[in-house]
Amino acid sequence: MPTQFEKAEQFLALHRGKSPLLMPNAWDVGSAKLLASLGFQALATTSSGFAATLGQVDGTVTREEALAHCAAIVGATDLPVSADLENCYAEDLEGVAQTVRLAIEAGLAGCSIEDYSSGPDARIYDRELAAERVAAAAAAAHAGQVPLVLTARAENHIRGNPDLADTIARLQSYAEAGADVLYAPGITKHAELRELVASVDRPVNVLALPQVPPVAELAQLGVARVSVGGAFAFAALGAVAEAGRELLEHGSYGYWALARPGTAAARAAFTR
């Protein structure tokens, strides 16, 4: 079994391959094991997907709940795991740093920090403050014996401010603050992705949305990593909802068309 140090180093190296690292977001131990069995090289958590397992919406999970969940996902496989830690569950710089230190204690190879607060005073942080928060996270991520890979996220495009110039300026400042990977979820256009990748000197993660170019095109653009956010978790919930409606409204069992291959995949993954 690789050490945490080895997994962190491996995780960072995976961002330098000839093709993008495809990193699915697991929402529980079972999904982590199943995704690992399919051949993925790294996993991420999903704040929205995990919240759904608790019957909650994104942005309502506590730091303690999130980190316990992260530790469970880390323990599920030998793969490097990067955590979606929202805004690091803190408004102050020391709180941000403490969250990152706790992320290392949880066994993670990487984590992310957003420049958006989903609390009562929901807002995108001022750019200068956001960079200071990234600097605090980076200092904690890189201070110890485990080189935690820090991803800095610019939330503009999913928070009602699709200003590409501001997003790029933010990501540039986050790179200067010490981020290892940059991420602006919600950017989908080929030309904008090309401009973003060309404007920064760090690996770039892209969120796989329906309008995003296919992976082969992202590779040509120089994208380093592709993640799915909560999509897989909600695809699973969508299948459950369809199965439930079928049984309730029609009294039929067509859901077995998915249940049979799902059973086979789970048995193959969970007996390893």
**Is position 263 within any domain?**
no
> Residue ranges of the chain with pLDDT lower than 50?
none
Domain with 52 in it: 4-228
**Is position 50 within any domain?**
yes
- DSSP letters of 188-250? --HHHHHHHHHH-SS-EEEE--TTSPPHHHHHHHT--EEE-TTHHHHHHHHHHHHHHHIIIII
The per-residue pLDDT for 120 is 83
**Is position 91 within any domain?**
yes
Reported pTM? 0.97
**Is position 112 within any domain?**
yes
**Is position 237 within any domain?**
no
Count up the domains in the chain and report the number. 1
The per-residue pLDDT for 121 is 87
Question: How many CB atoms within 10 Å of residue 120?
Answer: 5
In tens, the pLDDT along 25-68 reads 999 999 999 999 999 999 999 999 999 999 999 999 999 999 99
**Is position 256 within any domain?**
no
The per-residue pLDDT for 271 is 79
